[in-house]
Amino acid sequence: MLNLFLNKKMKREIIVNDEQLETRVAVLENGKLEEFQVEHSTDERIVGSIFKGRIQNLEHDLRAAFVDIGMNKNAFLHYWDMHPESSILAEIDDGNNNRRKGKGRNSRNKTFTNQEVEKRFPRGSEIIVQVTKGPIGTKGPRVTTSISIPGRYLVLLPGTKLRGVSRKIGDIRERKRLKGLMDRMVIPNGVGLIFRTAAEGIKMKNLNQDLEAILVIWEDLQKNLKSEKAPACVHSEPNLIERMIRDWISDDVDRVVVDSQEGYEVVKRITGLLSRKAKSRVRLYEGDLPIFDYYEVERQLERALRRVVHLKCGAMIVVDETEALVAIDINSGKYKGSGSQEDAILEINLEAVEEIARQLRLRNIGGLLVIDLIDMKKKNHQNIVYRAMKTALKHERARTNVLPISELGLMEMTRQRVEESVLSSMYVDCPYCNGRGKVKSPLGISVEVQRQLKAVISKCNSNNKPTNVLVEIHPTVLDRFRTEDEQMLIEMTKTLDGKLKFKSMPMKHAEFYSILDDDTNEVYYSNHENN
C-alpha cells in the first residue's frame, strides 16, 4: 500500500526557458502544463513597482485622480485607493481570526470627500503610489497609495500598524503559531506585516531572514524617495525568474530546470538563500532540443492557446476574448455517454469547469467572464458544478469571485486582471484579416527561429563536417533579423562550421519559416504544415 501511495504522489516541475529576448516559465504537474508566464526583455513590466508621482488632475465625477508617473499615459487612482490601508485590509484577518469589516474595496463609501481630496492631494502635489494593474489596451496603469513590499514569506506594509496572517492559511493551530512568532519578531515602527501563504510551517530563522531582506528594500526605497524628483520609479519589481523563485518555489516542487547558464546560476544562488534542499533541486538543461520541446511544453501550450480546446470526454470549450469580457462556451462536440442525458451533461460540465480554471491561469485571463454551460434541469446538478468550479479555483493566486449559475444557465465570475493576457502579449493583429484573427509577432517568430537554429547548428556540428544553412522566412521577420537581432545572429554564426544564409519569402504566410541545408536542400525544420 505504501508503494502505491508513493506512486500516486504528484510530480511538480518548473521549466525555465531563458533567452535574450524572451523568458518563459512553465509549471508541470505529472507532465501536464498547469501554469505559464512569459516576459519579453523589450517590454517594461511595472505591476508592483512603486513611483513617486505628481497629481495632474482631480476628476470628482469619476471619483479619481490622474497621476503623472513618468509614462506615456497618466496613472488612474481611485479616491477609495487614496487610503493607505484601504486595499489591503480586505485580504487579511485581524488578531482574533476575524475578517475586518467595513474596510477595503467593498466599502467605497468610506473614501475622502471631494473637499478632503483637494485639501490632502491638491493638483501638482507629490504622491507615492504602487501599480496594481498595468496598461491594457488604450487604458493607462492603475495605482494605489496602499504600498506593499512582498518577500518570500512576508509582505511589508509601510505606513500601517497591521499585523495579520493570510486567510488562505486555514489551520487554526498554524495561525496561532504564526501569530506567536510575529509577536517575537523585531518589526520597525511605522510598518505593518502580513504572513503570506508560503509562511505555513516555516521556522522563525527563515522568517527573520526574509524580514531583513524586505527591510533592505524598504530602506533603499526611502533613500530613492528623498533623492529622486517626481515623476520617478523608486522601486521596481524583479524580473520573471526572480519572481518565480519568490512566488512558486516551495517544498512540493521536485525539480527546477533552466536552459541557460546565466539563468541557472541566478536560480541556484537565490534558491540557496532559501534552503539547501531547494538549491539541490535546480538543474541545468544541456540537451540539443529546445527545452520546451523536450518537456513537451511547446505542444501543450500551442493546444492550450487555441480558440477551441478539446476535452478528454470528446466535448470542447470555445474561448473568445474581448477587451472587457471573456465569453466561454461549452459544446458537447463528439461526446458519447452511456448514461442518461442529465448525467452526460453533468459529466461534460464538470470536466469543462476544471479545464476552464486551468485555462484562466495559462492564458492569464482577467476581468469579467461569462461561461455558457450546457443547460442542466436539476438544481442539485447546478450546485455540484458551481462547487466544482469553486474547488478548481481554490489554489488560484489571482482574486476570483464566482456567482451561482443563473436561470439562463450562465456562470458569471471575475478574475483579478493586472496585465494583458498571454494571447495579447504574444500575438499581434493579423494583417490578412484586419484584426479578426491572430498571428505571431516578428519577435515571437524570431525567438522561435533562433531556438530551432540552435538545435540545427548543434546537430550539424555533431556531424563534424562543414554545413551551409539556409533560412527561408517572411520579409517582416527578416527585417527584424537585419536590425534588432543582428548581433545575436552573428554570435550564432560563429558557432556554425559553415555559412548561415537567409532568403526572403514574401508570398508565404507571416509565420512561415523553414531551415534547410543550402547545398542538398535537406529540410532540417519547417513549420509550413501549420500555415
What DSSP string runs through 395-421?
A: T-SS-EEEPPP-TTSEEEEEE---S--
Take residue 114 and report the three cell numbers written for it. Answer: 471631494
pLDDT, position 463: 80
CB 433 within 8 A of CB 498: no
What is the mean pLDDT of the segment spanning 418-422?
75
Q: Report the distance separating Cα 472 and Cα 514, nearest Å.
A: 5
Residues forming beta bridges with residue 310, ordered by sequence position:
316
**pLDDT category of residue 54 using cuts at 50, 70 and 90:** very high
Q: For cell 530602506, what's the residue?
A: 219
Residue 328 has pLDDT above 90, yes or no: yes
Residue 349: is it exposed, middle or buried by C-beta count within 10 angstroms (0-12/13-18/19+)?
buried
CB 297 within 8 A of CB 31: no
The enclosing H or E element of 204 equals helix 204-227
By percentage, how much of the chain surpasses pLDDT 90? Answer: 38
Q: For cell 493583429, what's the residue?
A: 429
Q: For cell 531563458, what's the residue?
A: 18
**pLDDT category of residue 58 using cuts at 50, 70 and 90:** very high
What is the mean pLDDT of the segment spanning 146-175?
88
pLDDT, position 102: 37
Q: For cell 546565466, what's the residue?
A: 262
| b (16+ CB within 10 A) / e for 415-430 | bebbbbbbbbbbbeeb
By percentage, how much of the chain surpasses pLDDT 70? Answer: 90
Cα–Cα distances in angstroms (integers) from residue 24 to residues 15, 27, 301, in the given order = 8, 10, 11
| b (16+ CB within 10 A) / e for 435-464 | eeebbbbbbbbbbbbbbbbbbbbeebeeee
Take residue 95 and report the three cell numbers written for it. Answer: 488578531
Take residue 489 and report the three cell numbers written for it. Answer: 545572429
| 244-293: pLDDT as tens digits | 888 888 777 899 999 999 999 999 998 887 778 888 999 999 999 999 99
Q: Report the distance separating Cα 256 and Cα 265, nearest Å.
A: 12
Residue 531 has pLDDT above 60, yes or no: no
The pTM of the full predicted model, rounded to 2 decimals, is 0.73
Instruction: State phi, psi for 135 to the nearest 5 degrees.
Output: -65, 130
| 466-486: pLDDT as tens digits | 889 999 999 999 999 999 998
More confident call, 101 vs 285: 285
Residues forming beta bridges with residue 473, ordered by sequence position:
504, 513
Take residue 11 and report the three cell numbers written for it. Answer: 510530480
Q: Report the distance separating Cα 361 and Cα 397, nearest Å.
A: 9
Residue 241 has pLDDT above 70, yes or no: yes
pLDDT, position 398: 82
CB 318 within 8 A of CB 308: yes
pLDDT, position 9: 63
List the Cα angle 269/272/274 in 5-degree steps: 125
Mean pLDDT of the chain: 84
